[in-house]
Chain A
Amino acid sequence: MFELSSSVGSVTAVLQAGGDVRTPATEFEAIFRVFLVLGVLVGVVVLVYMTYNAVKFRAGGPNTAEGDADRPRLGELPTGSGGGRKLFLSFGLSAVIVLSLIAWTYSSLLYVEGDPPGDDALDVEVEGYQWGWAFTYPNGYTDSTLRVPADRPVRLTLTSRDVFHNFGVPELRVKADVIPGQETDAWFVAEEPGTHTINCYELCGAGHSYMSADLVVMEPDAYETWYAGTDNSSEGSEPDGNETTSANGTTTANATLAGVLP
């Protein structure tokens, strides 16, 4: 079952594993895999062990001592049973596993928290609003679809026009809170051209379920051509109700929203 849980992300993961660029996505996949394997292992061992003991020492079973000589009695002052050494051994072992796992992930955290690699990162400002996204490029051009070149780090600076949102592109493992009056940042690298969905991950009102947008990853040359044709107008932003049909044929947020909301 656990293998399936990462199936959604596995396609992108495999694609990215080929490259040697460390991106938030590759960091996540590597760590998630290790955690899954260890988590399943520990879970199975502990659950089997507790069930084994419960059955082994069932009342009337062959391993249960006869007589109630040392059993708890009504009205006694509570005390504990012995076995502290075993307890601390298990506790120590689990603590070592957990602590070393977390320590191991810390370098990844520093990497993801730091600046994107290289110095050619594309800066895009993201503004969330009820219920859509506006992306502003360095030249001032604003659009409701995020177009980025493949294989180049993209640095996002995010804020909200109204309520608390959360910006996430699950396939690229990038996510950030989008808070009014605050700026947050995040970065990602999309290695292959294609289209991804941007979702809102914080309940933000009636349109929350539909607050998605497209992230279009273009070939670098195609991107440059497209970008050269933009200016600081904002014709694409806030397409209220007009059809914004993305490459893979799904209709994006605002078109759908008009039909759903009162």
Chain B
Amino acid sequence: MTRRNRHHERAERDGEHDEPRVADGGHERPADTDGGHERSPTPLEDVGAVGRAFRVEELPPLSSVARWFVTTNHKDVGVLYVVTSLFFLVFGGVLALLMRAELWTPAADLLGANAYNQAVSIHGMVMVFWFLSPLAFGFANYMVPLQIGAEDLAFPRLNALSYWFYLFSGLLLGASFFQEGAFSGGWTMYAPLNVPVYTPELGATTTVLALLLFVASITVSSVNFLTTMHRMRAPGLTLRKLPLFTWTILLTVWMMLFAFAALGAALVILTSDRVLGTTYFAAETAGGSLLWAHLFWFFGHPEVYIVFFPALGVMAEIFQTFSGRRLVGRKWFILAMVLVALQSFAVWMHHMFLTSINLQVKTLFMITTIGISLPFDLMVFALIYTLVKGKVRFETPFLFAFGALALFILGGITGVFLGAVVLDYEFRGTYWVVAHFHYVMVGGVTGLVGGLYYWFPKMTGRMYDETLGKLHFALYFVGFNLLYFPMFVAWETPRRVFVYDVSLLPWHQLSTVGGFLLGASFLVMFYNLTRSLWAGDRVEGNPWDYTTTAEWAVPSPPPLENYPEGTPTYARGKLEFLAPSAVRSLGRTGADGGTDEASTPSTDGGTVVRDRSSAPVVPETDFDEGGHDEHHASHASPWPFVVGVAAFFALLGLSGVNEGGLYLVLLAVGLLLGTVGFVAFGLEPFHVPEMVAAERWPFAGVENAKLGVWIFLASDVVLFGAFVGSYAFIRVAFGWTAWEPVPHDPFPGLVNTYLLLTSSFAVVLALVAAKRRSRAGLVGSLVVTFLLGVAFLVNKAVEWQELFHEGLTLSTGVRTSTFYLTTGLHAAHVVVGLLILLYLIARALRGGYLDDDRPVEYFGLYWHFVDIVWLFLFPLFYIF
């Protein structure tokens, strides 16, 4: 790779299209052997004092509280995720214990109906969204870069932003309890119970907004992980060679990207119904109730695998390590997971077997559902056979992983019952379902708890107490089965009720006892881990025999930039740490995606010796002359935190925007703070070093930021797809031909089509001008694009004004609701585009982008996408 590209890529990695560092770029120079000098000091003239003011020079030490607010390092963020998710485990667990306490007697005595329904709903949401995936992604944040040989994620500040969105979405959820009560319609939020007619509490709106912020966090995170895992693998680490935990995360984030976009669409529509008064999910809307079920379960079923896959990865790693055996049928195991990930988007209607969908569709989804269960059989057997001829050590991580497999098997068998539609008819809405999915999901939790013990020494450099660990497992396993197994016996209990048949009393009391035992077992864990953090035995590197993955080849905990002994590479078939230049020259031959490396033969490094210990290989030569430490990568930025706070205020304000008063103030404060945060985020110089060589299949030719934009747009396609699908679904239920377009005159829409198409040409001209280094041409073209965009919005505003005048408002009916919301979502995309354009124009005026036109190109991708969406919306909403 040329130096220029490498240089610019760094600048682009964080999604900011105009790093100040580009000022010294732009000249094609051959790469030299020195891996470090491209990080020479770069002038900050073009951001000036403003930029410097926003800069955090150094990451504060671990002991400093400030560190945790500004850190962008993947390991710090990983720790934040783990700790926060455990907090939410306690939150969701307390809600569960409240429910179990209420169920101690068959009558209503402890909680009122509303309190119980809130506990049921928020327990489900907290555990599924705010605990399970975030715990897994704490591990993923920490371990995936280490396992693939990257120094950090592709966009470290966006990673911090994901975390702060996650934390503040959880706090927003907590706040909802104090606004007349949180959402009480179940975690599935079935329509029309989810609209204000039936759940008028402000807190219910806040719950929905909290989920929406969580979706934003997941989307940012998915883009980040996908870019990282596709573009930043050590040489030799092809996709097929990825460690199993990393494999599960890769598939998980792909599923997340699309599934959460569908949930995002559902939540945007729901928010609009609750705040703006559209009527998608109103009881009167034909098909509205079913629409929600389709949208929710299109997300909801992949979500099952999204929460379970990482646990599966952890279990596979632990099984291999603690049996001293490589996974049996590894490639089939991976293939099975890939099949599940693909098929997960084609099984959602099995949650709707009792709705009015017809027999043919039911049969189809019965077949896909049974089909998706079969790969899991293979995975289970692969794990079991891995033990054969092993050297199995029953230490705490293995106990949990082994227990998780046992629980998952029971969950799987009881799931086959549900796959038989005739049985499903009767199990629907009963404790059979409750027991089944707790065996699967909490079975997954069991695996993740094993991961917590497994990686605790890695993350802290201290060993936990083994006896207490085993005690935890014993209490946990007994408590778990005592809690959930009686539910199979008492399966006739309807879900989410607090009064039940007296004959079921003993089973529910057993269950309650088990629940408290399960809760108590976590007290043992918290005590153990907290105490071990200060007083545990020190672990220098690797406490476990037979580990294979790279995170164990570095110190515990790893230093800030992960690899003190050199740059990791697998180019010669095993993990080695070499000087960057040696890696680069090796990468030329060994890497599948590294062919764009225009490297020259190295002169240093390359000679390696085998260490006596289990640490594989250390370089003999000193490669540090390349200035490895001369320019540190940036690890600190306060702006993700600020944007997170802003999102909290803005969404809290939005929840009560129709109330006015304090809520308007909150909204204004949030928006203001958000503006400051985003602008500062954009101006802040932030440096992420580029990997000297990497596996990049299949995206070798697409640089990180561009890939990030592509991946984001892929999720945006699903978002718009869900909106257009919703429109079509409602229109079919309404009667396709009886439905007339809301604008009786398509002319304004036609004009807008021309305006947007012309603006797309203007963006192309801007890119051409930038390539020709014409500042005037660039600025002029960008300004033309901006003006065309503004004209589009003005035209739309006039059109809407007239329609409002005719009494066609958002609340008039589903026709107007779908029209305003879908085209409104598109208009919001145009507004965002215009804001980016303003920023581009301001920077172009000062001579930006002439040396590096890629930000203009990336903006163009987005803008063309927005235009293409309009080409679909115009005929759908104006003509047909």
Contacts and interface: CB of A to CB of B under 8 A. Distances in A.
Interface stretch (B33-41, B50-58, B188-196, B828-836): B188-196
A228 interface: no
B264 to A, nearest CB: 22
A71 B546 contact: yes
Contacts of A237: none
A109 B421 contact: yes
A170 interface: yes
Contacts of A81: 325-330, 386
B409 interface: yes
Most interface-central of B114, B285, B326, B370 (chain A CB within 10 A): B326
B615 A210 contact: no
Interface in B111-144: 112-114, 116-117, 120-121
B370 A78 contact: no
Interface stretch (A57-65, A116-124, A215-223): A57-65
A175 B198 contact: no
B497 A208 contact: yes
A28 B497 contact: no
B186 interface: yes
Interface stretch (B166-174, B568-576, B770-778): B568-576
Contacts of A80: 326-331, 333
Nearest to A50: B384
Interface string A44-82: 001101110111011100001100100111111111111
A204 B497 CA distance: 10
Interface in B59-118: 108, 112-114, 116-117
Interface stretch (B222-230, B241-249, B460-468, B850-858): B241-249
B403 to A, nearest CB: 11
Contact of A74 (B388, B410, B552): B552
Nearest to B359: A113
Interface string B240-270: 0111100000000000000000000000000
A80 B327 CA distance: 5
A72 B326 contact: yes
Interface stretch (A134-142, A146-154, A160-168): A160-168
B283 to A, nearest CB: 4
A81 B421 CA distance: 38
A32 interface: yes
A184 B370 CA distance: 25
A260 B330 contact: no
Contacts of A249: none
Most interface-central of A28, A82, A112, A164 (chain B CB within 10 A): A164
Contacts of A82: 328
A105 B367 CA distance: 12
Interface in B336-391: 352, 354-356, 359, 362-363, 366, 370, 373-374, 377-378, 380-382, 384-391
Contacts of A130: 198
Interface in B796-819: none
A42 interface: yes
B406 interface: yes
A90 B381 contact: yes
Contacts of A84: 328-329, 332
Given A80-B333, A181-B284, A209 B548 contact: no
B426 A175 contact: yes
Nearest to B353: A177
B632 interface: no
A53 B426 CA distance: 37
A205 B198 contact: yes
B373 A180 contact: no
A252 interface: no
B577 to A, nearest CB: 9
B389 A57 contact: yes
A74 B362 CA distance: 49
Q: Contact size class for A?
A: 35 or more
A202 B394 contact: no
B416 interface: yes
A223 B791 CA distance: 72
Interface string B384-421: 11111111111000000010011001100110110111
Nearest to B432: A5
B326 A78 contact: yes
Nearest to B241: A77
B723 interface: no
A43 interface: yes
B6 to A, nearest CB: 26
Contact of B402 (A4, A5, A54, A101): A54
Contact of B193 (A88, A163, A176): A163
B392 A166 contact: no
A98 interface: yes
A76 B236 CA distance: 11
A175 to B, nearest CB: 5
A102 B325 contact: no
Given A57-B323, A105-B421, A86 B385 contact: yes
Nearest to A161: B283
A78 to B, nearest CB: 6
B283 A162 contact: yes
A166 B499 contact: no
A203 B117 contact: yes
B420 A53 contact: no
Contacts of B378: 87, 91
A203 B120 contact: yes
A35 B113 contact: no
Nearest to B385: A83
A74 B548 contact: yes
Given A39-B417, A50-B405, A163-B198, A57 B356 contact: no
Given A72-B326, A209-B498, 8 more contacts: A31-B420, A79-B326, A112-B422, A113-B362, A160-B283, A168-B426, A179-B289, A209-B116
The 6 closest A-B pairs by CB, nearest first: A80-B330, A201-B429, A75-B575, A75-B616, A209-B497, A206-B113
6 contacts: A28-B426, A39-B413, A105-B420, A109-B363, A206-B113, A206-B114
